[in-house]
Amino acid sequence: MPRWKPDARQRLVVAALGLFAEQGYDETTVAQIAERAGLTRSTFFRHFTDKREILTAGQSALSRLLVEGIDTAPADATPLTAVAAGLERASGEMTTFNRSIGPLLHAAIEANEELRNRQAMKSVGMAAAMVEALRRRDVAEPAAQVAAELGVLAFKAGYARWADPARDEDPGELADLTRAAFDELRAAVADLR
């Protein structure tokens, strides 16, 4: 088996998600993931500390992108406008690879309670990163929390629409879908008055 192949990290993710969906998360071993990806166990451990990390590997990058967008929003931007800038930044970095793994990721998470809990914690982490970025902009805690939570909901809704395999047509750009979801949520909040 060759010691190095291009796109090893992506191949490990695809292999793991496929195995999780086929035989379950708990029944899948690191050795099986590496074998399916055509790589060695040591290559796996160069990219991930364990199989759980595969499911959260993009969390820090996603949170970082959301924060970058908020940080670069105009100084006079409202909290919701700053979060929209974060969504735009993060959505713009998602690739067709991110879209292709969506259904596999969803199936693996839905089939395992531990993974559902980890996914919930991922959402909490994204919101916390955005709250901190908004607080640096002198946004009060309650407003920062609400804006960040709306941002998380919008990203999840936009991504779900983008990665939905049942859609026959090209879903378009993720940024457009997250923007539309965020606009829907903003309208829903306005209707609460």
The per-residue pLDDT for range 139-163, each reduced to its tens digit, is 999 999 999 999 999 999 999 999 8
Task: Give the pLDDT of residue 105.
Answer: 84
Q: Mean pLDDT for the chain?
A: 90
Task: Give the pLDDT of residue 5.
Answer: 52
8 Å CB contact between 82 and 41: no
| Residues 6 or more apart whose Cβ sits within 8 Å of residue 193 | none
Helix 59-71 with 113-136: angle, nearest 10 deg: 20
Task: Give the pLDDT of residue 24.
Answer: 87
Q: pLDDT grade, residue 32 (50/70/90)?
A: very high
> Whose structure tokens read 């946004």?
139
On whether the pTM is more than 0.75, the answer is: yes
Task: Give the pLDDT of residue 91.
Answer: 94
Domains of the chain plus CATH, in order, are 8-53 (1.10.10.60), 58-191 (1.10.357.10)
3-state class of 70 per DSSP?
helix
Q: pLDDT grade, residue 109 (50/70/90)?
A: confident
How many residues does this entry show for the chain? 193
- Joined together, the tokens standing for residue 1 give 């088996």
How confident is the model over 57-79, as a mean pLDDT?
92
The CA-CA-CA angle for residues 129, 71, 98, to 5°, reads 60
Q: Is residue 97 pLDDT above 90, yes or no? A: no
* Closest C-alpha to 151, from 182, 173, 174: 182
User: Count of CB atoms within 10 A of residue 3's CB?
Assistant: 8
8 Å CB contact between 87 and 151: yes
pLDDT 10s digits, 42-52: 999 999 999 88
Q: pLDDT grade, residue 169 (50/70/90)?
A: confident
8 Å CB contact between 13 and 47: no
Task: Give the pLDDT of residue 31.
Answer: 96
How confident is the model over 114-139, as a mean pLDDT?
91
